[in-house]
Each structure stands twice: as structure tokens, then as C-alpha cells.
Amino acid sequence: DYFNTNEAIDALTVGVYQYLRWYFCNEAAYSMLNYGTDEYTVGADNSNGPWNDYSSALAPTVATVNSNTAAASTLWNYMYTGINIANTLIDRIESGVYTGGKAKTVAGTGHFIRGFHYYNLLTQYGSVPLKLTPSTTVEFEFEPASMPEVFDQIEKDLTAAFDELPEKANKQ
């Protein structure tokens, strides 16, 4: 299994950051995460207006105005994909599969990414499913955890990341 090799885990540690690009590199993510605040204003084409004015157009599938329009499920899907990758990293360290020299960085990356995504899910949706193990098959049934449970996990993950990640990044 490829994801049980040091090479794959090192690559996954870099690749997990792809899911952070979505937050910061497109209008739809900015709209979803900042609507209703002083930082947000609806653009001239109103492609993401429902996120700010809570109109009836805001639904799991939002009618596409143009390529900037995002469905409500997009945020959910990106966050849980990133969480699953983070869970895989943490699992490979805790189970002893990873024997490379970057174990603390791998674990710290996993904890940071998972905590960051859960923070955004919690602030966006409130109670959400708290998945702390990697998914290896398709899963359909999840129960939401309480908001305090999710927040406690966020705090644990970010504290672990602080302890595990180096003070300065290695540029290699």
C-alpha cells in the first residue's frame, strides 16, 4: 500500500496544503468564510450574493450565476477531504508506519490542518461530525458532535501542532 511508505507520507504532508489554497485563492471561499462581516461586500455580478443576504437562493446547491458561484457543499467537501488527509498523517505516525526523520513535522502538519479545518467548519456550521480516523471506504452515516466536543478537539490539535512543528520552517 503506497500510503504506508515514508515517501508517500512525506508527499502527503506537502499535498495536504492544497486544501488550504481553496480558502485563500478564490472568490467563492472568501464569500463563504467572510459573508455577513465588515470585510465582505457583494461584487457587481452578485454571483455570491446569497452568502451575504441569506436569500432563498442559498441552498445546498446554489444556482450558478457564473464561474464564481459556489455550492454550499463545496466548503464541506474541501474541509473533510483535508481532514481525512490529516487523519491519515496522524494515523501513520501514531501507528509507527512512518519511520522517516520528519515524524514530528508530519504529525504537527496533520494536527494543524485538522484543527484549522474543524475551526472553520465549527464557525460555519456549529455542530459537525468529528472524524478522527482516516476513511478507507465510502461512509454515509455520521452523527454531529457537540460544539464543545469539536472545540476541545480543535484546541488539542492546535496545541499538539504548536509542540510538534519547528519554530522555523525548513526550506528543503
Query: Would you state the pLDDT for residue 30?
Result: 67
Round to whole Å and give the CA distance between 60 and 64: 12
Which residues, 6+ apart, have CB-to-CB distance to 31 below 8 Å? 40, 48, 51, 52, 70
Cα distance between the two ends of the chain = 26
Round to whole Å and give the CA distance between 57 and 49: 9
Q: Contact 49/68 with Cβ under 8 angstroms?
A: no
Q: Is 104 helix (H, G, I), strand (E, B) or coil?
A: helix
Round to whole Å and give the CA distance between 33 and 118: 13
Query: Would you state the pLDDT for residue 74?
Result: 76
User: What DSSP designation does 129 have?
Assistant: B
Per-residue pLDDT of the chain (172 residues; tens, 9 = 90+): 888 999 999 999 999 998 888 777 776 676 667 665 666 666 556 666 666 666 666 655 555 555 555 666 777 888 999 999 999 999 999 999 999 999 999 999 999 999 999 998 998 888 999 999 999 898 888 999 999 999 999 999 999 999 999 988 776 6
- Sign of the alpha-carbon torsion through 123, 129, 132, 137: negative
